[in-house]
């Protein structure tokens, strides 16, 4: 953060205890609207005195620059200390110009794309009055049933760490007071993605070793990158809700990691301590949360009701209150709010910045970078000279492809697949036949005949399938993660009518696609691609752009495999042949085996890449040394493309069982047809550390496998030794 300009300590010294407590409370923007005509306004329903609203330090869920400016202006007129409010919102994958969901951004394996999109979102959101975004969400995930997998970057802690830290740096820039930058809040600390059975808000029970090995690294990476705020998770962690978990919030976050930023609760999380059964008293809830380091209480008022009394009783120290207020005011000062309370936000600026051609171009290129070609038996790319095209399925002309948590994005501002292909191929004859719904409980097949007729009459068929965007995101967990409704039946009939068919899949999670994979010669996963999804799909389908995304979260063959993840530990009874579907007395699923349909790191291209060599400058690594690894890749196909070079290790023998493979580095490179490039990686001892049975972070001398490729598919393999 920038050098402090405001004398924060002097300001705090002149504040009353009630004014200090007000800084620790966040309420929705509708609390600050003019409610003179409504005597039962939201403030009264919640139980907070209307006069106390003048002291409130921050708000969320407002609508655009005009409302923000009006609230800020009124607040400054009424606050005797003239302390500006903080305005926060969830800018998850865009403000008005929406780019692909975070799970898709993980699939890009491209920090440069993440940087460009995050900076775009910060420009638009700041113009709209937002000063803090509740981003990045770096919860480690293994279970595709969980709705919020769409907000993460996938099942690898290293990939999550890289992408999370990249977002922090891109949103915040070098100077938070720059109007184009936003403060960031990493969430949800901790292990929110470990919810039992993939059910949102559900309990999390994991060992400390597992927690430290997989779930915590990405939060720590964001803190190291300079994130300004942190949000505890809703879930219980080993029996204690995160917001009241002293071990997590005090020992790990503050004592071990030295986090000095602002901690904010999730929505009503303090109040929910009563529902968890931690207490039957809002006073106890306030004491537990504040003394665990929660500075701001979002959308509950236990602090308002009880902190003053808790201070008088000696259960909360006024010094701790002052320190919390100082953290909040320091953030406001870093954002430049004392000199520039609205940071130049206006509806005129918002209109000028949002959805510009430049920003739409960024969104389109991101959607192209994130799409994963899951399967291709030579069908794709279709020729641009194709005359008759059939677009079949519930997403053929749908604009509902932006995804959950799209802030101020609007469906009608998205480009549909039909619109994208029509713009690319204006002379083609395009027939749209929806065929059926994408809803799980809508089984109407009345549109099948029209769809099959369109398929028979077409030169190329594009099946536009998937799950509705409301089926993923917060609270939207699914017990069955297949294509909803009768989409598989529709696809089967259309494929019988015309084999020159490719499927586009729109989803917020990996889906079980075995039926589609068995029948369809080409499948392109679009995720929820955002504002320019249709334009990106057109360019990818017809070869204007070569797919380059890689799977960031394993696609299970069946929901019974969940949770499924590539970096699983070795077992004492492994399968002898991974492809076997029935092997007795082994760790195995009868019928489908253990492997996913599409593993982490998988993704095809319209060209071919050959891994020619991997050279190590030494095969012995000392504790303070490095091994230089040079990987040579050649584009042996006939068109340009991008490849993600993925480097994995396997610790063969250790005092704690290690994962069978572990991503330690990656780089996305561009290669022209026939071009060769060498990618250089460095391996150092810290990359080999793990948490042992006593939760000590150590490395151990011994042998390691090293390979480039993707999960379960090494291209080139070598070994080295840590000495």
Residues designated catalytic:
266
- Please give the sequence-ordered ranges of beta strands (E in DSSP) within 337-427, or none if there are none: 372-376, 388-392
Cα angle, residue 85 at apex, residues 79 and 87 outer, rounded to 5°? 155
Pair of tokens at residue 467 = 């799950």
195 neighbors 678 (Cβ within 8 angstroms):
no
| Contacts (Cβ under 8 Å, ≥6 apart) of 305 | 47, 282, 283, 286
Q: Is 479 in contact with 145 (CB distance < 8 Å)?
A: yes
Neighbours of 575 (CB within 10 A): 18
> What angle is formed at CA 604 by the lines to CA 602 and CA 608, rounded to 5 degrees?
125
- Residue closest to 245 by CA, chosen among 192, 316, 209, 193: 192
Q: How many CB atoms lie within 10 A of CB 4?
A: 12
| Tally of CA atoms within 13 A in the half-sphere of 275 that contains its CB | 10
Cα separation, 646 vs 603, whole angstroms: 12
Name residue, tokens 């012995």: 620
Backbone angles phi, psi at 198, to 5 degrees: 70, 20
Q: Which two tokens stand for residue 624?
A: 């303070």
Residue 459 CB neighbour total at 10 angstroms: 16
What is the b/e burial string over 283-306, where b = at least 16 CB atoms within 10 angstroms of the residue's CB?
bbbbbbbbbbbbbbbbbbbbbbbb
What is the SS3 assignment for 196-226? HHHCCCCCECCCHHHHHHHHCHHHHHHHHCC
φ, ψ of residue 118 to 5 degrees: the values are: -65, -40
Cα(614)–Cα(610) distance, integer angstroms = 12
Whether the CB-CB separation of 494 and 452 falls below 8 Å is answered with yes
C-alpha dihedral sign at 209, 211, 213, 214: positive
Give the three-class secondary structure for 356.
coil
Cα-Cα-Cα-Cα torsion 487, 493, 494, 496, nearest 10 degrees, comes to: 140
C-alpha radius of gyration, the chain, whole number:
26
How far apart CA 286 and CA 280 sit, in angstroms, is: 12
- C-alpha–C-alpha distance, residues 660 and 645, integer Å: 19
- CA dist 686 and 627 (Å) reads 12
The dihedral built from the CA positions of residue 472, 195, 186 and 364, taken in this order, carries a sign that is negative
| Of 460, 508, 518, residue with least CA distance to 484 | 508
DSSP class of 98 = B
């Amino acid at each position: 953060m920038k050098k402090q300009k405001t004398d924060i300590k002097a300001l705090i010294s002149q504040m009353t205890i009630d004014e200090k407590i007000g800084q620790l409370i966040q309420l929705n923007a509708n609390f600050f609207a003019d409610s003179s005509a409504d005597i039962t306004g939201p403030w009264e329903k919640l139980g907070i005195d209307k006069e106390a609203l003048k002291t409130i330090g921050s708000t969320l869920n407002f609508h655009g620059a005009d409302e923000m400016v009006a609230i800020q202006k009124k607040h400054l007129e009424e606050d005797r200390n003239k302390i500006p409010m903080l305005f926060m919102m969830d800018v998850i994958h865009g403000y008005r110009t929406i780019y692909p969901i975070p799970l898709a951004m993980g699939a890009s394996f491209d920090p440069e794309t993440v940087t460009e999109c995050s900076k775009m979102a910060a420009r638009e959101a700041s113009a709209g009055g937002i000063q803090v975004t509740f981003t990045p969400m770096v919860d480690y995930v293994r279970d595709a049933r969980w709705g919020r997998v769409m907000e993460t970057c996938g099942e690898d802690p290293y990939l999550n760490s890289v992408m999370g830290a990249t977002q922090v740096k891109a949103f915040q820039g070098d100077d938070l007071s720059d109007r184009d930058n936003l403060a960031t809040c990493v969430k949800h600390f901790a292990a929110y993605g470990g919810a039992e059975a993939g059910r949102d808000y559900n309990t999390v029970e994991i060992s400390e070793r597992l927690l430290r090995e997989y779930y915590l690294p990405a939060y720590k990476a964001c803190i190291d990158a300079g994130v300004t705020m942190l949000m505890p998770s809703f879930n219980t962690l080993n029996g204690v809700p995160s917001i009241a978990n002293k071990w997590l919030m005090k020992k790990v976050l503050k004592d071990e990691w030295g986090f000095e930023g602002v901690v904010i609760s999730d929505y009503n999380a303090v109040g929910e301590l009563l529902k968890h059964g931690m207490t039957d008293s809002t006073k106890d809830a306030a004491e537990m949360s504040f003394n665990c380091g929660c500075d701001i209480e979002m959308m509950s008022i236990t602090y308002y009701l009880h902190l003053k009394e808790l201070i008088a009783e000696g259960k909360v120290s006024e010094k701790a209150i002052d320190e919390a207020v100082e953290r909040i005011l320091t953030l406001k000062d870093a954002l430049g709010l004392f000199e520039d309370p609205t940071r130049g936000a206006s509806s005129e600026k918002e209109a000028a910045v949002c959805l510009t051609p430049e920003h739409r171009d960024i969104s389109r290129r991101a959607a192209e970078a994130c799409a994963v070609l899951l399967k291709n038996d030579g069908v794709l790319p279709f020729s641009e000279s194709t005359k008759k095209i059939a677009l079949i399925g519930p997403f053929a002309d749908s604009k509902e492809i932006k995804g959950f948590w799209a802030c101020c994005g609007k469906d009608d501002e998205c480009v549909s697949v039909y619109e994208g292909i029509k713009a690319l191929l204006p002379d083609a004859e395009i027939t749209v036949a929806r065929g059926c719904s994408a809803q799980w409980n809508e089984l109407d097949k009345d549109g099948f005949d029209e769809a099959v007729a369109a398929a028979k009459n077409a030169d190329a068929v594009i099946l536009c399938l998937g799950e509705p965007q409301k089926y993923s995101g917060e609270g939207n967990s699914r017990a069955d993660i297949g294509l909803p409704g009768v989409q598989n039946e529709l696809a089967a009939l259309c494929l019988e009518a015309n084999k020159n068919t490719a499927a586009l899949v729109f989803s917020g999670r990996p889906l079980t696609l075995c039926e589609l994979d068995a029948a369809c010669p080409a499948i392109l996963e679009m995720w929820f691609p955002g504002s320019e999804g249709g334009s990106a799909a057109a360019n990818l389908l017809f070869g204007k752009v070569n797919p380059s995304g890689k799977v960031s979260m394993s696609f299970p063959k069946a929901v019974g495999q969940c949770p499924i993840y590539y970096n699983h530990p070795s077992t004492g009874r492994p399968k002898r042949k991974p492809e076997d579907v029935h092997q007795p007395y082994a760790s195995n699923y009868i019928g489908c085996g253990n492997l996913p349909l599409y593993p982490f790191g998988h993704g095809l291209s319209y060209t071919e890449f050959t891994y020619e060599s991997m050279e190590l400058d030494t095969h012995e690594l000392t504790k303070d040394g490095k091994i230089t690894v040079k990987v040579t890749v050649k584009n042996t196909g006939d068109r340009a493309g991008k490849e993600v070079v993925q480097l994995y290790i396997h610790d063969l023998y250790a005092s704690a069982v290690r994962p069978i493979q572990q991503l330690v580095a990656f780089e996305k490179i561009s290669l022209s047809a026939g071009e060769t490039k060498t990618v250089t990686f460095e391996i150092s001892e810290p990359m080999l550390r793990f948490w042992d049975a006593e939760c000590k972070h150590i490395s151990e001398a011994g042998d390691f496998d090293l390979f480039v490729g993707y999960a379960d598919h090494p291209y080139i393999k070598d070994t080295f030794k840590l000495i």
